[in-house]
Structure formats: structure tokens, C-alpha cells
Structure 1
Amino acid sequence: MRITRRCFGHIPKMLDFYSQFNPSPLSIKQFIDFGLSACERKSFTFLRKELPVRLANIMQEIHLLPEHLLRMPSVGIVNNLYITSFEEIIHFEKLEISDTTLDKFCQALIKIRNRHADVVEVMAKGIIELKESHDVDAHMENNIQYFLDRFFMSRVSIRMLINQHTLLFGGVLNGHSRHVGCIDPSCDVISVIKDAYENARFLCDQYYLASPELVVKSHNDVECGNEIKIVYVPSHLYHILFELFKNSMRAVMEYYGDSDTYPPVEVTIVRGKEDICVKMSDRGGGIPRSYMDQLFKYMYSTAPQPSKSDAHTVPLAGYGYGLPLSRLYARYLHGDLVLLSCEGYGTDAVIYLKALSNEANELLPIFNKTSTKFYRTPLATADWSSSCGGGMATRQLNMGQSNGHRLPNGIGV
């Protein structure tokens, strides 16, 4: 299957047209303010322009990927999904606004969201297909890492727009009366932490027949004594925390082996003037500093890939996308996810979230000359001795960093 198979007729011209425009990032405050007024016609008018722009910006980058990757069947499937969805959205470009049009648009968005539900897994399979059939050099890996960060961030943003519209106007409530679409104006951080912990603990108990306890501490430096609340998307925070809990639990259980007791996973929440920080600390043995750069790479995993024969058991690790995707969810609204590790002791994972809703703006990829140049520029020659090939010390530094090695006793990816 060639990736250009479905690109016929007017679609390439429309992609070229819409990719000339930059996406319009919104803040959480703008999402909330618009959701409270809830005008379906305004939402339709915005989305029928904004969604094609966001789709076109990332779809143009697909064609800049290494040729070997473009030939992979799973990548072709993903590309065809995007072309189909792009076609369906631009169908509404010039339609008269009526109740019938609005209803059809909402149904089209739900169909698109469902169609793209498995895109992460399908793209992951495309990368596996590439690794199994071709040697992947550093330049190709660098291109793929750059693209996947932008591709998945674009996907998060598109799903956010679709979810807001369909929850507000699609007649399907998400079960929370105070929510504005998928945003909770008063998200209880501790409640999300406990929910993510309990679900990760269930998996850990299934897999290891035991699990570490949870200790939660909080410090509100702005509203002393009050619970820490944030205007946020609870499902995004849950996703990040669930992945981190799985990783920490796996690290603790494997580091302590058959021990009768396991040290708890400690979570500290701090509210500052600019940031809300959530720090998760485990005593799972930590990670060597030489491995830290690998943790957020899509083409690297410390755990075996899910086996088709294990379809009925849910492992604590999978394709290796947990940490990279979690960091994207944090960065989507200008937060971040940082790992700090002490080898031989444990690892701290710190989630940074914007405390003020008007500062929590979407971070979106833009297709332009700079992004195009990235794919075509070879890796720069290193200008520090420890990064250059050839020396014995350098070869020793690089040993053990290939994809086939497992991180000893660290957070699983």
C-alpha cells in the first residue's frame, strides 16, 4: 500500500490551501468561556475551518517521513484515515448553517473520533514493521521522534476540539454536571491521583500478586489550608498519572522481588503562584543516567511488546509509548513532565501544570519551512569529544544504549 494511494482529485490542493494557515491555539479559559455560552453555530463556524487547518498541517508532514517508513502498511492505514476525515470535514466548508447541517456535523465529528480511536496503536505497529524490515540509523530515528511528537500532539488537540463540541452539543453528557465539555472547572487533583492509583494497583495486584501503598501529601502556598483545585481536563491528568503509577509500581515490585514489604509510592502536590506540581516518588532502584535520554523515545522500550497470546491479561507495560505520550499530554497546555533519578534508590517524576487557566494555552505543531527543513537536514556533527565516534571511551559510553537492552530496575517505559 503506497501512502499516496488515496490522495487524488481535489484533496492535494485542499491540503496545500489549508496548510498555509497556522492553527489557532486556545487556552483553557477560552474553552471554558465559550462552553458556558455554548453557541453551536459559533462552534461549527470555528471548527469547520480550524479542524482542516490542524489536519492539513500534520498531514503535510507525513509525506516528509523517510521513504522506508512511508511504505509500511500500518502507516498507509493511518494516512488513509486522515485523508478520509479531512474529506468529510471540508464537505461542510460552504454549507448553509441550518439545524440539519449542525446535526450532520456533530455526527461526522463523532464518526471521525471513533475512526481514529486506535491510531496510536496502528502507528506503533508501523514503527515495529519498520524496525523488523530495515536498519534504522540515527538520522531516521531522529526524524521519526520529531514527527511522532508533533503527530500525537496534533491528535490530542484535534480530539480536544471534537470532544468539546460533541459533549456540548451532541446530547451525550459525560456524567459530570459541573463539567464544561470535557473540562472540569474545579478539578480535584487528589481525587484524580487516587483514581489513577487504584486502577494501576488493580493491574499490579493481578500481575505481581501485591502492590505498593500510596502516600499523598499536599501544600497549597497560595490558598493556605484549602484543597488544591485546577481548571483542567481530568482525563488528561488521569492518563499521565496512570502511566506513572504503572511504571513506579513495576519498578518497585521488580526491584524488591519476593520481599514481604514494599516501600510506598509517595505523591506530593504543591500549588504555587504559576504552577501546580505533582511529584511522584518511588524507591524502585532508579535509572542509570546513561539511560535517561532513552526514556522518552518512541523507538525504545524497556518492556517486551504485548503478546497476541496474552490478549486476556493486561501487562504493566506495552509498546513503550507511555512516557512520551504522557509528556505530550502535560505539554499540550504548556505544562511538562520531568524525570529525576538516583540510581540504586529510586525515581521522581514531576508533572508541571499551569495554575492559571488563561496561561494554559494549547501547544500546537505548525507546518512551515522550519519543520520541513528539519526532515531534510542530516544530524549535525558533534562538537564535544564525548559525542564523537571512534574513541574507546565513547564506544563504552554508547554500549548498552541500543534498543535491545532493558533498563535495570528503573521506571518501565
Structure 2
Amino acid sequence: MGLRLTERNTITPSIPAGPSWNNSTLVQSSSVVTSMALRSTGSSLATTTTTKREFFTNSEQKEVEDVVSFYDDKVTQYANQEIQTVTLKTLLGLGRSGSSSHDQHQQGVAAGDLAINLDVARYARKELPVRLARLIKATQKLPFIVGTNPYIKRVYKLYYDSFQSITASPEEIRDKDDLDRFAALLKGLVESHADVVPMLSQGFLECKKYMAKEDIKRFLDDMIRARIGIRLIAEQAISLREQRHEHETSSVETPHDDIVGVVHTELRPADLIKTCASFVQELCDVNYGSSPEVVINGQTDTTFTYVPVHLEYILCELLKNAVRATVEHSQKMGRSALNPHGNGPDRHHPPTNRESGNSVVIVNQDDDQDVTKRPNEFGHPPVEVTIAQGDHEVTIRIRDHGGGISREDFDAIFDYSFTTVKNENDSSSEGSSSDDSPYGVDSIFKGVSRLAMQAGLGGPIAGLGFGLPLTRIYAQYFGGDMHLVSLQGYGCDVFLKLKQIDESLDDLQI
């Protein structure tokens, strides 16, 4: 990397316009280049016979590599290219030439067709470097002090390394072997990015005083939308390849007509809600010692076309808010069978024996609806999830009895890094410091919840402040939306509207 730097005109590099990584970056890079020039001119014999490691210490070499990544001409060239959007129908492999003459069953098993796999992989190989390069350039334009934050810097390096890996791979994907190698590369990159959102949240928690709130929101909105598109393209190429491989190696012919890559054409929200609710209840039990029941009612047999991993993320975030608010309000109002620390029974509400731990109940329309009002043995009223299917959308309402949101907090709930969870230094005593870190000895971040954040499945039970803004972006990405109604002193209703994406495959741009 250091030798490459000497081959370019790095003495007068161009600095991006605006309040980007400012002149201190230029001074820093110039000092490195000057040092390099002085050392290299000391002796022509040394220049030709001494290795790169002898010119630089480890710290100097790392500094040079950072400068090279910042002024990488290849990144600029790709970032200046136009993004080539693709419809969801094409990404599914259903828009391929000639597919219109196939019957519906043949389209359903198109994920196993090698030609369609190759089409999607070739598009990913061409398009992903452009989108990654744009993310890299956007991160470079952050204020210098924000860009040097270790969490933001780590995210930047992940995107830069991914860009380098993809552009270093063969441009032509001609056959099955090429496809398998490229899919394996993408899978490794996707896995390496699992912690990007927690790292961004922690980075901007630490740096929020250095940027205006509106600038942070604009940057993160754009980055997260771009990230969703990048992951969709990459994961579709990976999933199509894996499904084709499974179809080729399976001794029993069991084609998944309802799954095409990352899209499920017969997704049943009630089943996914049940899975997410069980996961969230486990987190709640770890943090508080108890959790409310989750009751699923309405049109529980609803099915529609959607991306399960997106809906899973949305549901986990909304259910985490609902169960946490319910338990904390129960403790505050004295209706909980556990004391406020969650470590023993309250004399007012002795708990009964529960046979099977947490409870997620699916209630059909003809069943007893009273179950949505009965508190469990811990004194928590249930969280009610209602499913309704319209002509063009599916609506999911999540209702809790968690006391609602105060008037002063309501306007800020969609701001990044806003959270009602106290950090480790919050204290009622005077003179306490106010660090922004959400982690603390007495905070709710313990054990399983912290591991869940690292796994990337919806994060910890609360505290990062990214849940609601990210949830709304995910809902809006495919033409849906999310609204929240608060009844202060009682609870919240969250309305999640999801578009029937099978009706607009030709219009949805990725």
C-alpha cells in the first residue's frame, strides 16, 4: 500500500467539499508523504534493496494505509457512477426474458435455475461496488472528529474492505464454479457486517454533540436505506445459490414454491410474530425476571408476499418496546408480582406456578377474546397483536399497557440515539457525570441481551435508541409505513402497515 502511494500525485490530493475530514487530514497525509520522500531519497541503493517494512514502523504503515483508503482513486471512480436500480421482480428472477411464457409453478421454482442465479450474481458483481463506494464517500464527508470515532471508523473500514474484496474478484461470472465462489465471498462479507447497526448507534451516541441532529438523521437515513438495498442484492444472490444447491443435492424432490431467494410468497405473519415474541420474552425474563404474555388475534390465517428477515427485525423491535414498557409500568404501578429489581416475589402479588414458561397465544376470531385482558401470574397484562388483511396491505397492530409516552418525549421518539434507558452514569445524586454509553454495571445490558446485540437479531431489549427510526425505514422501504399512538398513563398502539409487494413487483426499485 505504501509503494502504491508514491506512484500517485499525493502531494496535492483533492479534499472533498464541505465540512468533511478537514485540513488536519491533509496535514497528516502530507507529513507521511514527506517522511516517505526524505527516507527514499537518502540512498538509491537503500531504495532498491530495502523492503517496505524497513521504511515504516507499524504505526506509520497503518497511517499510510488509512490515507491510501481515503484517497483511493478506484473508490472515487465507482462512486461517480450512476446506481443501476433493479425491480424486485427482476431480482426475484421472475423478470428474466422468456419467463412470461412459463406457468406459475415454473416461476415458483425459478430459484433453482442456474441461468437466473447467474443473472442475479452478475448484477450484484457490477452494482455492489458502486453502492459501497458511495457509502465510503459519504462516511468520508463526516466531520473529522466523528470520522475518527473508533466505532464509526470500524464501520468505514468494513465497507472499504468489502469494496476491495468485491472489486478484486473476477468481473466475469460465467459458470457454476464462478457463481459458487462469488456467493461464498458475499456470504462472508454479509456475516462480517452483522454488527454495523450497533456500532453506528454507539458511535453516534458518543459523537452526537459534534453534529446537528438533522445532519445525523439525514446521514443515517441515507446510509440505512443504502445498506438495506446492498444487503437485499447480496442476500438474494446468496439465497438463490443455496436454494439451487439444495435442489441439486436433495434426493427427494421438494421444491419450495413459496420461497424465492429472500422473499416468501406465502408468509404467515402469525407464525413469525409467535417466533419473535418467544425470543423477546426470553430477553425480558433475563433482564426483569418476568415477561407478559403475547396474544395474537384478528385474521391469524393471513398470508402475503414479503421478506421475512425484514419483518422479523421490525417485529422484534416493536415487541421489545411493548414488553419492556409493560413490565416497567407494572413495577411502577405495583401490579407486578416481582419487586422493581425483578429478583423476588412481591408480597402483594405472589406468583403462581407456570407450567411452560412464556406464553404466546394465537386466538382465532371465534375464540374467547377475553384472554387479551387477563393479566398473567406475574401481574402483567398481555401484549395484544392484531392482524388485519386488506385489499392492498396487511396491518399489524401491537397494543401494550405500558403507560404510554410522555408528551415531552413523544416528539423525539424517532430521533436516532434517543432512549429512555438510563446509562451507567445517570444518577439522581448531584455531580454525577453524563456519559452517553448505554452499557453499565446496573443497567439492563447483561448476559443474553448483550450477546443478542452482537448476533444482530434485533439487538438488546432497549437502550441504543435506533429501534423506532430503523423500524420505520424498514417498513417504508417496500411502500409500507408505521404509526404510533400514545395514550399517556395507559399504553401505546403501534400500527404497522405492510404493502402486498406481490401486487407491485414491477414498481418496487431496489
TM range (shorter): 0.7 to 0.9
Number of equivalent positions: 353
**In structure 2, distance between residues paired with 1:210 and 1:102:** 48
Residue matched to 1:71? 148
The DSSP-based 3-state class of the residue aligned with 2:225 is helix
The DSSP-based 3-state class of the residue aligned with 1:109 is helix
Deviation (angstroms), 1:280? 0.6
Listed one character per residue, the Cα deviations across residues 197-241 of structure 1 (whole Å, up to 9, x for unaligned) are 12112222333333222232224xxxxxx8211111112112111
Q: Is the 8 A contact 1:327 1:336 kept in 2?
A: yes
Alignment of 1:322 with 2:467, yes or no, is yes
Residue matched to 1:16? 77
Identify unmatched segments of 5+ residues in structure 2. Answer: 1-61, 96-107, 248-253, 336-348, 350-378, 424-437, 450-459
**In structure 1, distance between residues paired with 2:398 and 2:255:** 27
| Percent identity over paired residues | 31
**In structure 1, distance between residues paired with 2:246 and 2:214:** 41
The DSSP-based 3-state class of the residue aligned with 1:266 is strand
Residue matched to 1:239? 313
**In structure 1, distance between residues paired with 2:64 and 2:197:** 17
How is 1:20-35 mapped onto 2 (pairs within 5 angstroms)?
20-27=81-88, 30-31=91-92, 33=94
**In structure 1, distance between residues paired with 2:255 and 2:439:** 34
Deviation (angstroms), 1:23? 4.1
How is 1:222-261 mapped onto 2 (pairs within 5 angstroms)?
227-257=301-331, 258-259=334-335, 260=349, 261=379
The DSSP-based 3-state class of the residue aligned with 2:385 is strand
* Residue among 447, 450, 456 paired with 1:312: 447
Alignment of 1:130 with 2:191, yes or no, is no
The DSSP-based 3-state class of the residue aligned with 1:68 is helix
How is 1:301-380 mapped onto 2 (pairs within 5 angstroms)?
301-303=419-421, 304=423, 305-307=438-440, 311-314=446-449, 316-359=461-504
Structure 1 pair 279–363 and aligned structure 2 pair: CA distance change class (3 A): farther
Structure 1 pair 28–42 and aligned structure 2 pair: CA distance change class (3 A): closer
Deviation (angstroms), 1:313? 4.1
Deviation (angstroms), 1:279? 0.8
Alignment of 1:273 with 2:391, yes or no, is yes
**In structure 2, distance between residues paired with 1:144 and 1:173:** 43
Structure 1 pair 74–195 and aligned structure 2 pair: CA distance change class (3 A): same
Listed one character per residue, the Cα deviations across residues 324-383 of structure 1 (whole Å, up to 9, x for unaligned) are 22222212212112211111111111111112424266566xxxxxxxxxxxxxxxxxxx
Alignment of 1:159 with 2:231, yes or no, is yes
**In structure 2, distance between residues paired with 1:19 and 1:123:** 25
Q: Is the 8 A contact 2:201 2:465 kept in 1?
A: no
One-letter amino acid of the structure 2 residue matched with residue 277 of structure 1 = T
The DSSP-based 3-state class of the residue aligned with 1:5 is helix
Deviation (angstroms), 1:93? 6.1
> What CA RMSD, in Å, does the superposition of the two structures yield over aligned residues?
3.0
The DSSP-based 3-state class of the residue aligned with 2:260 is coil
Deviation (angstroms), 1:129? 3.3
Structure 1 pair 266–151 and aligned structure 2 pair: CA distance change class (3 A): same
**In structure 1, distance between residues paired with 2:267 and 2:326:** 29
**In structure 1, distance between residues paired with 2:70 and 2:319:** 48
Residue matched to 1:209? 289
**In structure 2, distance between residues paired with 1:255 and 1:14:** 51
Alignment of 1:291 with 2:291, yes or no, is no
Deviation (angstroms), 1:248? 0.8
Q: Is the 8 A contact 2:173 2:179 kept in 1?
A: no
Residue matched to 1:117? 194
Q: Is the 8 A contact 1:3 1:75 kept in 2?
A: no
Structure 1 pair 348–18 and aligned structure 2 pair: CA distance change class (3 A): same
**In structure 2, distance between residues paired with 1:326 and 1:9:** 32
- TM-score normalised per structure 1: 0.76
**In structure 2, distance between residues paired with 1:3 and 1:284:** 53
The DSSP-based 3-state class of the residue aligned with 1:211 is coil
Listed one character per residue, the Cα deviations across residues 124-146 of structure 1 (whole Å, up to 9, x for unaligned) are 23223325xxx345xx2211111
One-letter amino acid of the structure 1 residue matched with residue 82 of structure 2 = F
**In structure 2, distance between residues paired with 1:16 and 1:64:** 16
Listed one character per residue, the Cα deviations across residues 18-69 of structure 1 (whole Å, up to 9, x for unaligned) are 4430340432685262684342221222111121222223222212222321
